[in-house]
Amino acid sequence: MPRFLGTLAAFMAFIAVPSLAVADAVNPTDSLLPYPQTRRDALVETIFGEDVADPYRWLEEDVRNAPEVADWVERQNAVTHRYLEHLPQRDWFEGRIREMLNYERFGLPEKAGRRYFYERNSGLLNQSQLFMRKGLSGKPQLLLDPNSWAKDGATALDSWKPSVKGRYLLYSVQEGGSDWRTLRVLDVKKGETLEDEIQWAKFTDLAWIADEGFLYSRFPEPKQDEVFHGLSYNQAVYFHRLGTAQSEDELVFATPDRPEANHTAEVTRDGRRVIITSSIGTDARYEVHVIDLSGAGSSQGAWTTQPLVTGFEHDWKLVEGLGSTLWFVTNNGAPRYRLVSIDLENEDSAWAEIIAEGTDILREARIIGNQLVASFLHDASSRALIFDLNGKSVRTLSLNGIGTASGFKGRPGDPETFYSYTSFNRPTSIYRMDMESGESQPFATPSLAFEPGEFDVTQRFFTSKDGTKVPMFIVRNKAAAEAGKALPTLLYGYGGFDVALTPVFSSSRMAWLEAGGAFALANLRGGGEYGKEWHDAGRLANKQNVFDDFIAAGEFLISEGITPKAGLGVQGGSNGGLLVGAVVNQRPDLFAAGNAAVGVMDMLRFDRFTAGRYWVDDYGDPGQEDDFRVLRSYSPYHNIRSGQDYPAILVTTADTDDRVVPGHSFKYGAALQAAQIGPKPHLIRIETRAGHGSGKPTDKAIEEGADILAFLAQWTGLKTPE
């Protein structure tokens, strides 16, 4: 918890603002919108000698338990939806996004025994269904249909894992976008769901031990009023034996002396060992423990763990275990990662380097058949290389241009692997690669509602404020690019938590492109595009570099004639929502419009809710004075500049987001509306029964996408086709 100095001025004086009725219709060009009345409290804290006002703290309360907050949400949505539904281009965007999404989509197959499991969406289903085939050419059998689980489609199939031979399927259910998961088990042969049910799982892997049972991670059951807002501590790994109650589950691994630590479990493909990976935040710094199932395990009711890596200093990603050997991808001694192995049964064994650090980032690897498939990142685009088990290069997997290849699922001895490929102008296709020949054949490729060749995907490098070269992908109509035409442009960024943004397809972005706009994705510092140094350069005291990079990206797009000065829109979600809020405060003159989605907007209190305590690795601790000074300098909620003309801003969030609690967006939206920042609209759109993003039904995603694009189009000058 942050350490506050001074006294809290806790009086709650009600300060009225002019009451503005909701009009029957709202003209999108109106200079003054009828914002709802928002209570403003005289709440001030003295933090490290500085008085910090927090007039909208009451909006942090959980909407499910706070009638006044629920009323505020309803009134804000009434104004916002009245405005959005009168935007002249909204219907076009909704129709085109729906058309773009109406194609058959497949997920990566996973093989277990002779069975292949995979997800499929016929087009506009709210949730993808899970199918199984016996053999590649077998008849598809529907196993799970999440669309029947809730009338509004907001109950989702989150993740799933077949047992080794495919007899059972363990799967997790996500309700209304929450991070909490319920685990259930399907008897695949009978098509029946077992009575086994696990509650309070969160941030968990799914790991089978034969057909006997499975490992999972959970937190203690929270108090009723802390389910969606309370901090989570004391995560532990448990073993659940099929056919028993959760109350009988065996504790496998926990650290009661370190309640802040998280733990997940994996089982090696040969079933011999459990690998426990522990973390203490969002940084990729782990400890690793090993359980030998051949000597002690669930059958004896004993779980003996041996430490393999201690100290929370480096990243350790399990590749595989075979016999006594384990393989890991690590940044220990290699900021851009390398692949190493160790023999657990040789007391004198040291880590052996199999694939050395190179110029590209080694992201992950798998042992499939008798070869290593390694995925690399080169200037934020994918490369896949095949090695033998000694690290000798065998071949390079040829990809179709700038894009993202991922997946490569399989196990030692398998004759095949499956992977996906996507780019800004290419929806995801699934390929099967023969491991012996190296040849790839399509497993599932989509029928397209547009012509990919009409759109140009390029990568440019721009110079940030301190001289750093930063990459950016730019996508636009090829004819417009060749003609040098400036187009209304949507600039997207994230810049944090070691996350690399790579080329992926989005139906909403394609609709923007078809309407005549351009799209740009900036690979800002703070992300994972170039390893540890790139990440470190954009976090903690260096966070301002991220904002400088994004501002420089916008200036580059204008100076290069890619977008007109009044045609630049910005968008970002979560940490990217923080990004949008910060850069709009710092350079309101640069942008015409912005969408800050599910953002972290109050940088002085983020660590008090749900998963927020983990984020101190990237942001710093508000309770430490040096960190507080940095956070206070850019916190979107605290740095809105009255007297400046701001761009049009649409804040988007969900009332049940328990990752970045909606109070962040509620407070920021209220502060925008109260400030004197010009005539353009500053609205908040609040989705119901939706969380941070995952599991969102297709219908809700289409409606939200249409609202956002219509708003951005209105204020960047983008005109949709007649």
638 is catalytic: no
Q: Which residues pair with 115 in a beta bridge?
A: 112, 134
Angle at which helix 575-586 crosses helix 544-559, to 10 degrees, equals 70
Q: Which residues pair with 431 in a beta bridge?
A: 419, 442
Q: 3-state DSSP call for residue 362?
A: strand
- 654 phi-psi bin (left φ>0, alpha ψ -120 to 50, beta other): beta
Q: What is the 3-state secondary structure (H, E, C) of 179-239?
A: CCEEEEEEECCCCEEEEEEEEEECCCCCEEECCCEEEEEECCCCCHHHCCCCCCCCCEEEE
Which of these, 371, 369, 365, lies nearest to 384 by C-alpha position? 365
Q: How far apart are CA 169 and CA 13, in angstroms?
A: 56
Which residue out of 178, 574, 635, 665 is catalytically annotated? Answer: 574
Q: Which residue has the tokens 């968990």?
A: 204
Q: Are strands 593-597 and 648-654 parallel, antiparallel or unpaired?
A: parallel
Q: Which residues pair with 522 in a beta bridge?
A: 472
Q: How far apart are CA 36 and CA 272, in angstroms?
A: 61
Decide: 408 and 368 in contact? Cβ < 8 Å: yes
Which of these, 480, 648, 652, lies nearest to 569 by C-alpha position? 648
Q: Which residues pair with 595 in a beta bridge?
A: 571, 650
Cα dist from 176 to 156, 600, 690, whole Å: 8, 20, 5
Max CA pair span of the chain: 78
Q: Residue 706: CA atoms inside 13 Å, Cβ hemisphere, count?
A: 25
Q: Are strands 489-492 and 568-573 parallel, antiparallel or unpaired?
A: parallel
Q: Are strands 568-573 and 593-597 parallel, antiparallel or unpaired?
A: parallel
Q: How far apart are CA 520 and CA 548, in angstroms?
A: 16
DSSP 8-state symbol, 176: T
378 is catalytic: no
Q: How far apart are CA 593 and CA 298, in angstroms?
A: 57
Q: Are strands 50-53 and 44-47 parallel, antiparallel or unpaired?
A: antiparallel
Neighbours of 666 (CB within 10 A): 28
DSSP 8-state symbol, 609: S
Q: How far apart are CA 466 and CA 166, in angstroms?
A: 55
Q: How far apart are CA 413 and CA 76, in angstroms?
A: 57
Q: Which residue has the tokens 């493909």?
A: 269
CA 366 to chain centre: 23
Which of these, 69, 228, 223, 222, lies nearest to 657 by C-alpha position? 228
Catalytic residues: 574, 692
